[in-house]
Amino acid sequence: MTLIFYIIIGIITFIAFLQAAAKKEFEINRTVVINCPKEEVFKIVRQLKKEHLWMPWFADNYDGILKYKGEDGRLDALLYWKGHKRFYEGTQNITKIQQGKIIETKISIVKPFRMILLEYKGLKEIDDNKTKMVWGVKGYLAFPFSVLALIQPVDNAYGKDLELGLKKLKTILEAKNKSKEVNTL
């Protein structure tokens, strides 16, 4: 019985040590250059209703509930979702907009766990028809996620999603831009 007690105390101590050593805050981001004017890129990325077109978390085959409140693409616009595979229920609220430059949203995940994230999209004009976009997410990892992140870092878990979303956004916008060029000829 004493041996079991010492083993349990050892496990608890080890987990407490891991929790103390683990990074609690994280930030992941990815960058892409899109051959399209900055305003065209901003028109799409600021709209919550258009996220399903390019964000991998709300791919075309998403069959859950999506509800919107407020004027889309404006401060305080809100997206509510329910039925997502990884993040079952939550909200996304536009908290900051600088026209043509940056949009920030607060993501509140309610189920299967509680977590608040800051998601941002920053745009910089390289030239009249080329835009650099940074898409990122920041957050705080509470126990046990901070310990799990030692094994599976957040960047490894979700960085590929950011890359996939940016690639899809680039494809959509460049195809749209190319068809505009063809129509003007």
Asked, for residue 97, whether it belongs to a domain, the answer is: yes
Beta carbons within 8 Å of 85's beta carbon, 6+ residues apart: none
Measure the CA–CA gap between 182 and 171, rounded to whole angstroms: 16
Give me the residue label for tokens 């997502």.
84
Asked, for residue 113, whether it belongs to a domain, the answer is: yes
Q: Each residue of 98-138: pLDDT tens digit? A: 888 899 999 988 887 788 889 999 999 889 889 999 999 99
Beta carbons within 8 Å of 107's beta carbon, 6+ residues apart: 90, 91, 92, 116, 117, 118, 119, 137
Higher per-residue confidence, 173 vs 21: 173
Owning domain of residue 134: 20-184
Give me the residue label for tokens 């068809």.
179
Tokens encoding 19: 């929790």
Predicted TM-score (pTM) of this structure: 0.78
Query: What CATH number did the domain enclosing 73 receive?
Result: 3.30.530.20
Asked, for residue 58, whether it belongs to a domain, the answer is: yes
Q: Looking at the 3D structure of the chain, how many domains does it have?
A: 1
Question: What is the band of 184 on the pLDDT scale with cuts at 50, 70, 90?
Answer: very low
Higher per-residue confidence, 140 vs 36: 36
Asked, for residue 71, whether it belongs to a domain, the answer is: yes
